[in-house]
Chain A
Amino acid sequence: MSDAGTAGLSAARPVLTVAALSKTFGSLAVLDNINLKVHRRETICLLGPSGSGKSTLLRCINWLEKPDSGQIYLNGERIGVSRGGVVMADRDLSSMRTRIGMVFQHFALWPHLTVLQNVMAAPIYVLRRPRAEVRAEAEDLLAKVGLSDKRDAFPAKLSGGQKQRVGIARALAMRPELLLFDEPTSALDPELVGEVLNVMRKLARDGMTMIVVTHEMGFAREAASRIAFLDRGRIVESALPEQFFLTPATDRAKQFLQRYAGNGSWQAGQFSELHPGGPP
């Protein structure tokens, strides 16, 4: 995605607006005055040390965690709180949630359903779309993530990478306006990470609007339109990937990147392997 395209779109209404979001667990401020805008076709990578609040931020966006204060808007509509300022009825919250896809760290597939049924369940039972249409679309999606041959398997019989690709197909089947990824490769064996990142890279290229919490620096550098760096519940840096990785503005980000540079996870060798043509 070109910077010019992103800049042109940023004048339009953001897909997601997070304003002054705060959340505490007990006396611990997990999120502290978070402000974030995500525009159409953008891929925002949320980076930061573990415990910095990245996953909590994702879970607050679709109200799996209830924020303590602040506002979240999806295409201009407030999530979680109705006009009168009261917490939304389940039905309204549900209809907002159906517009936001989510991919979980530990896959969170429904174990009693086959791969195909996992992908079809919410479109049929929640969105009430016609079964035949949903089935055709689900089969297309499974083909897209390379799992057509596994459609009748149960999740327990799949590898981690396959499970996560089902997780992505399941989220796409909702035709979401925004897709949230909560550390989608953290629970995978190293050799399975690539197949999941490939699918995500393709989604980013196809213009899906995504927020990705990840520790895969190579992916973030290559696929993100913007990096938001969290530390102790605050977004301390928000920058274009090249800028963030080459000239981080804050000491916290420098330390963080140094740690990853130390174990080589995003350095030249691996980066060119992920991207055979070399950095763009």
Chain B
Amino acid sequence: MRHDFLVVWGERGLLLSGLGNTVVLSLAATIAALGLGAALAPGLMAARGRYRLAFTGFVDGLRCIPFLLFAYIVYYGLPSLGLNLDNWTAGLAALTIYNTAYMAEILRGAWATQPRDPVDAGYAFGFTGVGHFRRIVLPPLLLSAAPVVGNQVIQIVKDSAFLTVIALPELTHAASSIQSRHYIPFAAFITAVLLYWMLCLAIEAGVACLGRVAEARR
């Protein structure tokens, strides 16, 4: 067993590059999904029936598809519609679009519990449109949604493991290569698990930091 872990240690370059790719993928998908989710959230809140229905349909529809299936559709399915994406683009797109639905729903939920008065005050003081959203609405929204967004980021990290099926060289893919090369599944996968674990601890530490920022304002 000790020998197995030494073999994994010998392949640390591969593992670390996988870890790096997982971090890059998750980070990019988080930022993009949060941005797109913030753009969609007003649509989810819109009073007008038809827009609201369209947004709700999109969000609920996506949330009810297993991510693995969604990744298959983006990478293997879209080419038959004439859209060929390389595995990085497909993987990042799948991860982003899929989590946009969650982020939009999280922000909508947080929005619904925000007091109305400061929002009105924003309008009364002349803020409009995007400026109003960015300066007045979004910051308290993000602070109050931070713990739930943090959970979703952990979900993104874990979902990114599925992208091994489209040969994206992320952490799970790296562990899988090591085990098949050396026939040491336990050591390879446990190491990957520990690395995912550390990543989640780092995310939770970040959320705790944001929590303290929010607490000072509550």
Q: Mark A153-184, 1 if CB is under 8 A from B, else 0.
A: 01111000000000000100010000000000
Asked whether, in the complex, the Cβ of A95 is within 8 Å of the Cβ of B126, the reply is: yes
Q: CB-CB contacts of B78-121 with A at 8 A, as 1s and 0s?
A: 00000000000000000000000000000000000001011011
For A102, the closest partner residue in chain B by CB is B124
- Interface window among B2-10, B129-137, B149-157: B129-137
Residues of B within 8 A of A94 (CB): 126-128
User: In the complex, A126 Cα to B131 Cα: how many Å?
Assistant: 9
Given contacts A108-B117, A156-B218, contact A126 B139 (CB under 8 A): no
How many A residues touch the partner, as a band?
20 to 34
| C-alpha spacing A91/B122, complex, angstroms | 14
Q: Assess the B126–A127 pair: CB atoms within 8 A.
A: yes
Partner of B118, one of A62, A97, A110, A154: A110
Question: Is the beta-carbon distance between B143 and A125 smaller than 8 angstroms?
Answer: no
**CA–CA, A121 and B115, complex, Å:** 19
Asked if A274 is at the interface of the complex by the 8 Å CB criterion, the answer is no
**Which residues, 81 to 137 on A, are CB-close (under 8 Å) to B?**
90-91, 93-95, 97-98, 100, 102, 104, 106-112, 121-122, 125-127
Q: Are the C-beta atoms of A107 and B123 separated by less than 8 Å?
A: no
Interface contact A109-B126, CB-CB below 8 Å = no
Q: Which residues of B contact A90 (CB under 8 A)?
A: 128-129
Cα(A62)–Cα(B131), bound, Å: 19
Does the CB pair A62–B124 fall under 8 Å? yes
B136 to chain A, nearest CB (A): 6
Q: Is the CB of A111 within 8 A of B117?
A: no
Query: Is A64's CB within 8 Å of the partner chain B?
Result: yes
Most buried by B among A94, A100, A104: A94
Is B125 a contact of A126 with CB atoms below 8 Å? yes
Whether A112 lies near B121 (C-beta < 8 A) is: no
Which partner residue on chain B sits nearest A98 by CB separation?
B126
Q: Which residues of A contact B118 (CB under 8 A)?
A: 108-111
Tell me which residues across on chain A come within 8 A of B122, comparing CB atoms: 110
A174, closest chain B residue (CB)? B125
Q: Is B140 engaged at the interface, CB distance under 8 Å to the other chain?
A: yes
A126 and chain B: residue at smallest CB distance: B126
Does B65 touch A at the CB level, under 8 Å? no
Nearest chain A CB to B129 CB, angstrom units = 6
Q: Would A110 and B126 be within 8 Å (CB), given that A154-B217, A156-B217 are in contact?
A: no
CA distance A60 to B216 in the complex (A): 35
> Are the CB atoms of B128 and A91 closer together than 8 Å?
yes
Separation of A90 and B120 alpha carbons in the complex (Å): 14
In the assembled complex, which residues on chain B have CB atoms less than 8 Å from the CB atom of A97? 123-126
CB distance from B127 to the nearest CB of A (A): 6
**Chain B residues closer than 8 Å to A106, beta-carbon distance:** 115, 117
Chain B residues whose CB sits within 8 angstroms of the CB of A98 once the complex forms: 125-126
Residues of B within 8 A of A109 (CB): 118, 121
Is B120 a contact partner of A108 (Cβ separation < 8 A)?
A: yes
> What is the CA–CA distance of A279 and B103 in the complex, to the nearest angstrom?
60
- Please, which residue of chain B has its CB at the minimum distance from the CB of A173? B125
Most-contacted residue by chain A among B121, B124, B127, B131 (CB, 10 A): B124
> Which of B120, B127, B129, B143 meets A112, CB within 8 Å?
B143
Q: Determine which of B123, B140, B143, B218 lies in contact with A64 in the assembled complex, contact meaning CB atoms within 8 Å.
A: B123
Q: Report whether A154 and B126 are in contact in the complex, using a CB–CB cutoff of 8 Å.
A: no
What are 21 A-B pairs at a CB distance below 8 A? A62-B124, A90-B128, A91-B128, A94-B126, A94-B128, A98-B125, A98-B126, A100-B124, A102-B124, A106-B115, A108-B121, A110-B118, A110-B140, A111-B118, A112-B143, A122-B126, A122-B127, A125-B131, A154-B217, A156-B216, A156-B218
Q: Which of A's residues lie within 8 Å of B, judged by CB?
A: 62, 64, 90-91, 93-95, 97-98, 100, 102, 104, 106-112, 121-122, 125-127, 154-157, 170, 174
Name the 4 nearest CB pairs between A and B, nearest first: A108-B117, A108-B121, A98-B126, A122-B125
Q: Beyond A97-B124, A126-B126, A156-B217, list 11 extra A-B contacts (CB 8 Å).
A: A64-B124, A97-B123, A97-B126, A98-B126, A106-B115, A107-B117, A109-B118, A112-B140, A126-B131, A156-B218, A170-B125
